[in-house]
Structure 1
Amino acid sequence: MYGAVYVLSTVTGYVLTSALLLKCPTLLHRKKKERFHSKHISHRGGAAENLENTMAAFKHAVALGTDMLELDCHLTKDEQVVVSHDPHLQRATGINAYISDMAYGELPPYLCKLDVTFQRECICEGGEDKRIPLLKDVFEAFPNTPVNIDIKVNNDTLIKKVSELVVKYDREHLTVWGNASNQIVRKCYKENPRIPVLFSFPRVLQLLCLFYTGLLPFVPLKEQFLEIPMPNIVNKLYDPNRMSKSQRLFTWLADNLLMRKALFQHLTARGIQVYIWVLNDEEDFQRAFDLGATGVMTDFPTRLKDFLDRNGLSKPQ
């Protein structure tokens, strides 16, 4: 009997301590310093308003007042760091070749029209700027704008080159980098631990396990940014009637597991920003901020800016 009482009291004490630290994590952890705070994040520069990952897209987003540019990097044959999403050029340029097999001067321009990945039946028609830019072009053009870099391939030289550019342009305080791959994130952190990293996919799964077991308040976290999808946007990208029951169940389950206000509040209290992607309508903007997300990543920077302005969420000028 006494053993049962002891176990019960121990479990009760653990649960109460976990609940307290979940609400007040700074009792155990020093809050991470936020060098910048981003609500408005332009996905690929705003892929629905200008051709993705072009200087025209980035200039438009920055002119609107975006808090952060999100972009993707690859390495050319002559070891130039370029801003492009796909490793292969077919979708974006119509050319059957890999970026890594071509020198920068050989890269073709973007097509005039590109599908917008996260908006159903949406095509973006570009203007005159169809050039694949260099990462240094972005750094030079926007010295004070935070940049979110997705290292698209597991390439040690690419990681090293990106780090060198970040250091050269004095942007360690304005950059976050990473990938869904845990191996890539570990390499990024090892190459330059002064540049904040994103949670990789395996680390997101670990984070959820820690959260649901009550262990999260006791565990230190090296990452400073949680960047996750809102799973139920799948219902807007695809016809729900054509999804199987198992697909619909998985989407519902993933959404309910990931979109947790208590989790977001705990992380932000520890100085870890929470970004949700890729949201393109007001209903999803509202839900993300109601859940306590720090920022929203969108293909429609103008649409998100209008929403923030109308709801009094924009930063004071």
Structure 2
Amino acid sequence: MGKKTNIGLALAASGAALWAGSKMASKPVKRPEKKYFEGEKPRVYAHRGGADLAPESSMAAFRHAAELGVDGFEIDVRLTKDEQLVVFHDRFIDRTTDGAGRVADYTLDELKEFDLGFHFRDLQGKQTYRGKGEKILTLKELFEAFPDHLINIDMKEDPDTYEGSLMPSKVWRLIEKSGVEDRVLVTSFYDEQIDRFSLYAQDRVAIGAGESEARKAFSLFKSGFGHLYYPKADALQIPTKHGVVPLDSQSFIEFLTSLNVHVEYWTVNDVETMDRLLRYGAHGLVTDRPDIALQLISQE
């Protein structure tokens, strides 16, 4: 046996010992269950209100999704020039309205002048909402209009921007003032934004994992060191695939479920993927086609 082989065996043994030692020293730490997650599962969240069925983030979309029977809405929020929280995904208004420019460069009153249904085309390709009075909504308006629905809030603003620096505190203050702590989940792609929000919320609101937290969870699980994962979030909202890496394995869902971390997938619009995720134990589906998801669940 050569010298290199001896070194390799020693390293392997050392690694195995480290793994075994860490396994013995670590106990899984479950997240405490938030009221947000009480009730039946799986849940259907209308992505931006159900963006294939009505203009995204519009009152028409949310009303239609509510009539279909969704559990809640997955939404995005941005900050206006006069520091109002609006339900809007893009940094610019060009794609979904008849206006142009950044959300942050307009006051709320100015944004309300634009037609939110201007570019929308329905499943038959028709512009059925142009000129029908659909306007950009505030987060406050959404809270008030749908008191019985869950709302999954994604803070879109970059933490390094002026708007981003204000957003976590603005979101928390509105949640607290509106008394909706038990029916919102707050998340962001930016882990820093979630950390900032958590300083205000102090674990009184369910939070979702940022990109780094989700990557940590998957990496530890995949490497066999899942027992070292201490979740900082109540939910992982993830795509079925990140690049070429599949994230929709049943074992990964079961691993997170064992830690009281809820697993929800976005944006799932085809029935085959929905069915597979539900069979694997996913807790929720975020979809542009809530009609399909609800029909599928009703047949389970």
Letter of the structure 1 residue corresponding to residue 115 of structure 2: P
Q: Which residue, 131, 135, 140 being the options, matches 2:139?
A: 135
Contact 1:109 1:130 in 2 (8 A): yes
The equivalent residue for 2:266 is 277
Matches of 2:268 and 2:125, distance apart in 1: 14
1:106 is displaced (CA, Å) by 0.7
Matches of 2:276 and 2:127, distance apart in 1: 26
> Partner of 2:265: helix, strand, or coil?
strand
Tell whether 2:212 aligns with 1:202.
yes
The runs of 5 or more residues in structure 2 that have no matched partner are 1-5, 159-163
The equivalent residue for 2:234 is 224
The equivalent residue for 1:268 is 257
1:53 is displaced (CA, Å) by 0.5
1:181 is displaced (CA, Å) by 1.5
Matches of 1:197 and 1:153, distance apart in 2: 17
> Partner of 2:120: helix, strand, or coil?
strand
The equivalent residue for 2:36 is 36
Where in structure 2 are the equivalents of 1:114-129 lying within 5 Å? 114=120, 125-126=128-129, 128-129=132-133
> CA, structure 1 residues 228+6, in 2 after alignment: closer, same or farther (shift >3 Å)?
closer
Letter of the structure 2 residue corresponding to residue 69 of structure 1: F
Count of residues in correspondence between the two structures: 279
Matches of 1:139 and 1:68, distance apart in 2: 11
Tell whether 2:200 aligns with 1:211.
no
> CA, structure 1 residues 176+8, in 2 after alignment: closer, same or farther (shift >3 Å)?
closer
> CA, structure 1 residues 6+299, in 2 after alignment: closer, same or farther (shift >3 Å)?
closer
With structure 2 as the length reference, what TM-score do the two structures score?
0.83
The equivalent residue for 1:254 is 245
- State, as a whole percentage, how many aligned pairs show the same letter: 26
Tell whether 2:193 aligns with 1:184.
yes
Matches of 1:132 and 1:93, distance apart in 2: 9
With structure 1 as the length reference, what TM-score do the two structures score?
0.79
**Residues 70-79 or 217-226, more deviating:** 217-226
Q: Deviations over 1:190-224 (max 9, x none)?
A: 23232222111122221122112222223321200
Tell whether 2:61 aligns with 1:57.
yes
1:6 is displaced (CA, Å) by 8.2
1:142 is displaced (CA, Å) by 1.4
Let me know the Cα RMSD of the aligned residues. Answer: 2.9
> CA, structure 1 residues 93+226, in 2 after alignment: closer, same or farther (shift >3 Å)?
same
> CA, structure 1 residues 272+115, in 2 after alignment: closer, same or farther (shift >3 Å)?
farther
1:153 is displaced (CA, Å) by 0.4
**Residues 137-146 or 215-224, more deviating:** 215-224
Contact 2:36 2:206 in 1 (8 A): no
1:11 is displaced (CA, Å) by 6.2
> Partner of 2:181: helix, strand, or coil?
coil
